[in-house]
Each structure stands twice: as structure tokens, then as C-alpha cells.
């Protein structure tokens, strides 16, 4: 089996024992978009033995500009499943576990608890803070990564070091940060940041990172070819890693609304996930608008809105960024 990884094994940084360690490791990638597809591709080829990919969304034509594991034939399919199919064709010796779900406080324990490292490839600060809460409690190393426009940033968040709340003590208000809608994104920027994240994940799995080191936020601009390193100190009275206030993990039992980057869309995750009978729901919606159904989702178009409904009762309402409108459409066509 090691012959597959021969060019990697001869690296003094890895060696045969290191490769065996990778094959016995588990990485969890949260999000399978531009960053997640690059990271998943790299880790699968490097021989990380167990890779879980969590993504709530499906492939769209606009994704193909930067999301490296997808092809035109994948449009309309769940991203996690399409990515797993490609990765299994790349490396049949490892285990790929696709999860079509929205990571939230109701399922995070089930999905992340046995991870050796967690890779952030999400598109919103709320999910990142949830990961931060969970990994802080369970002492799981994770890697914060983001990219927008022509640049990106990355920071290893280790059990003994500063957490994401030390970096962002106050969550930016909606509209305060640029998004894909307003800035766009360069595909080389996401490819570079995804590769940087993969490298850090391999180093963590190989125990090649000083767990007592201060955090370093690396900011890279692909267009200007510039790189900056910002030292992040652990905040003693940090509400998360200092005082143990895990507000995102201990969220109330209520629905979660998430604005989706670059989509003019709102995702609604119900407070109590359930299993919808999609074919039955499609039949109910057919007299009202255009309906397309598969084993994984129902795509319903009515007026200026496109509603994607998943088996776990999640829905993505495209055509609005207003949470109240999204709630109203969800209640009208799916239920309370």
C-alpha cells in the first residue's frame, strides 16, 4: 500500500512511520465548497485514512469556477456525495464518509467527537464559533480558514492556545463583513488557502506542530503575492476558552437561519430535524409551481423564489436575504 505514497514517504517530514500514522487518522472537513474540495482532494491523495465531509448544499453551475471536485454532470447533486464519489475514484484504500447535513448544535457531537483534526471550510462565522466551542471542550485541534476576493486567512486553533473567540471576541454584525456577493472570489486564492489548510492538517496529524505555541493568523493575497503573519495571544478572560461560556454549543432549541455567501439565499434548519417523505411532498407542491424531485431533495420554484428542501427538513430559500420572508415561505410550503 505504501507504494502509492512513495514520493511522500521519502520526505524526511513524513517517512514510513508518518505515513502509517496518516492512514490511521481521521480528519473532518466542515463544508465542501472551494476550500473544502481542495482540502479533501489533498488529504485523500496524501493517504489520510478516514475523511468525513459534512456539507448541507448541492452543486450549482456557479460552483464550477472554483470548487475543484465537481463537474457539470454533478449539478443538482449533494456536494458531500459528489465529492465522495470523486475521492473514492482517486483513492480506494481510504474511507470517505459523506454527510449531507447542516452542522449545528443538535448533531455536532455525533459528527465531530472522534476527529483527530477538524478543517473549517465553511462560509459563516456562526458555524465557525460552534466548531470553536466544541473543539475547545473536547480539546480537538482545528484550522480556521477563509477566502474572499483575492485573499485569505488561516490560523491553527490548538487545545492549549488561543481560540477563535480570542481573535474575534465580538462577532461582526450582519453586513459588516464583505461577502462573495459584494467582492467575488478568485479561484487561485481558494486553491492556495485550501492547500495551506491541508498542509497544516497533515502537520497536526503527524504531531509536527508545537501545541504550546502562540496562535498565528496568516493572511495571504494571491493577486499581490503578499503574506502577513499576525501573532494572536490567548486572552485569559476569553468567554470561550477562558470562562467556559459555550454560547453557540448551548444554543436554545430553536430554528437556525443562515445567510448563504454569494447566493441571495437563506437556509432554515428546523429546531427538531425530521425525516421528510420527499416524493409525497413533491406531489403536494406540483399543483403550485415547478417541482423537481430526487432521492435527496425537492427543488420547488414559485414566483421569484427557488426552494430546495432536504430530507432532514432543512430548506434553502433562494431569491431573498430577508429571514422573515424565508420563514414565511417555509411555513407556507413545508410547515411550521
d(CA 4, CA 18): 14
Would you state the pLDDT for residue 27?
98
Q: Which residue has the cell 434548519?
A: 269
Would you state the pLDDT for residue 224?
96
Label residues 162-188 b or e (16+ Cβ within 10 Å = b).
bbbbbbeeeeeeeeeeebbeeeebbbe
Closest C-alpha to 236, from 169, 138, 155: 169
In degrees and rounded to multiples of 5, residue 126 shows phi and psi of: -65, -45
pLDDT in tens, 279-303: 888 998 998 899 999 888 899 999 8
Contacts of 216 (CB under 8 A, 6+ apart): 155, 156, 229, 230, 231, 232
Yes or no: is domain 2-232 CATH 3.30.572.10?
no
d(CA 49, CA 40): 12
Would you state the pLDDT for residue 333?
86
- Angle (deg, nearest 10), helices 34-46 and 187-205: 40
Cell readout for 261 is 455567501
CA atoms in the 13 A half-sphere facing the CB of 260: 21
Label residues 77-103 b or e (16+ Cβ within 10 Å = b).
bbbbbbbbebbeeebeebebebbbbbb
Pairing of strands 151-157, 50-55: unpaired
Closest C-alpha to 69, from 98, 48, 108: 98
Would you state the pLDDT for residue 177?
58
Would you state the pLDDT for residue 174?
45
Would you state the pLDDT for residue 56?
85
| Residue 275 DSSP class | -
d(CA 199, CA 133): 24
DSSP character string of 73-139: GGTTSBHHHHHHHHHHHH-TTSEEEEEES---TTTHHHHHTT-SEEEE--S-HHHHHHHHHHHHHHT
d(CA 244, CA 239): 6
Q: 256-333 in CATH: which number?
A: 3.30.310
Question: Using CA atoms in the order 174, 177, 183, 189, what is the torsion angle rounded to 10 degrees?
Answer: -130
| Residue 3 DSSP class | G
Angstrom distances, CA of residue 43 to CA of 25, 38, 47, 48, 90: 11, 9, 6, 6, 11
Cell readout for 73 is 454532470
Would you state the pLDDT for residue 109?
94
Would you state the pLDDT for residue 172?
65
Contacts of 105 (CB under 8 A, 6+ apart): 130, 248, 249, 250, 251
List the chain domain ranges. Answer: 2-232, 256-333
d(CA 218, CA 226): 11
Domain pair 2-232 / 256-333, same fold: no
d(CA 91, CA 49): 10
d(CA 22, CA 6): 14
Query: Mean pLDDT for each consecutive 10-residue tract of the chain (336 residues)?
Result: 90 96 98 97 98 92 94 94 97 96 90 97 88 97 95 95 94 57 84 98 93 83 96 94 91 72 82 79 90 90 92 90 84 76
Amino acid at each position: 500500500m505504501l507504494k502509492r505514497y512513495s514520493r511522500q514517504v521519502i520526505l524526511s517530514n513524513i517517512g514510513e512511520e508518518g505515513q502509517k500514522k496518516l492512514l490511521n487518522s481521521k480528519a473532518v472537513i466542515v463544508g465542501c465548497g472551494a476550500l473544502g474540495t481542495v482540502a479533501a482532494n489533498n488529504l485523500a491523495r496524501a493517504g489520510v485514512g478516514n475523511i468525513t465531509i459534512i456539507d448541507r448544499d448541492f452543486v450549482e453551475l456557479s460552483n464550477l469556477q472554483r470548487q475543484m471536485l465537481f463537474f457539470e454532470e454533478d449539478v443538482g447533486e449533494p456536494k458531500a456525495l459528489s465529492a465522495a464519489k470523486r475521492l473514492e475514484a482517486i483513492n480506494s484504500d481510504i474511507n470517505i464518509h459523506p454527510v449531507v447535513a447542516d452542522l449545528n448544535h443538535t448533531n455536532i457531537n455525533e459528527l465531530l467527537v472522534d476527529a483527530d483534526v477538524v478543517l473549517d471550510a465553511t462560509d459563516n462565522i456562526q458555524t465557525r464559533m460552534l466548531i470553536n466551542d466544541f473543539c475547545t471542550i473536547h480539546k480537538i485541534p482545528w484550522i480556521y480558514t477563509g477566502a474572499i476576493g483575492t485573499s485569505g486567512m488561516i490560523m491553527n486553533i490548538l487545545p492549549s492556545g488561543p481560540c477563535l473567540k480570542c481573535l474575534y471576541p465580538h462577532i461582526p454584525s450582519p453586513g459588516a463583513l464583505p461577502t462573495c456577493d459584494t467582492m467575488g472570489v478568485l479561484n487561485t486564492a481558494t486553491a492556495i488557502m485550501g492547500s495551506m489548510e491541508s498542509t497544516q492538517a497533515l502537520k497536526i496529524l503527524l504531531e509536527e506542530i508545537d501545541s504550546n505555541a502562540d496562535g498565528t493568523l496568516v493572511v495571504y493575497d494571491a493577486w499581490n503575492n503578499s503574506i502577513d503573519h499576525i501573532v494572536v495571544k490567548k486572552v485569559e478572560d476569553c468567554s470561550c476558552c477562558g470562562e467556559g461560556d459555550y454560547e453557540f454549543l448551548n444554543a436554545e432549541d430553536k430554528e437556525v437561519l443562515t445567510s448563504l455567501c454569494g447566493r441571495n439565499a437563506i437556509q432554515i434548519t428546523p429546531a427538531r430535524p425530521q425525516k421528510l417523505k420527499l416524493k409525497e411532498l413533491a406531489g403536494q407542491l406540483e399543483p403550485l409551481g415547478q417541482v423537481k424531485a430526487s432521492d435527496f431533495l425537492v427543488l420547488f420554484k414559485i414566483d421569484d423564489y427557488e426552494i430546495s428542501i432536504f430530507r432532514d427538513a432543512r430548506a434553502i430559500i433562494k431569491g431573498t436575504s430577508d429571514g422573515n420572508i424565508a420563514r414565511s415561505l417555509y411555513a407556507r410550503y413545508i410547515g411550521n
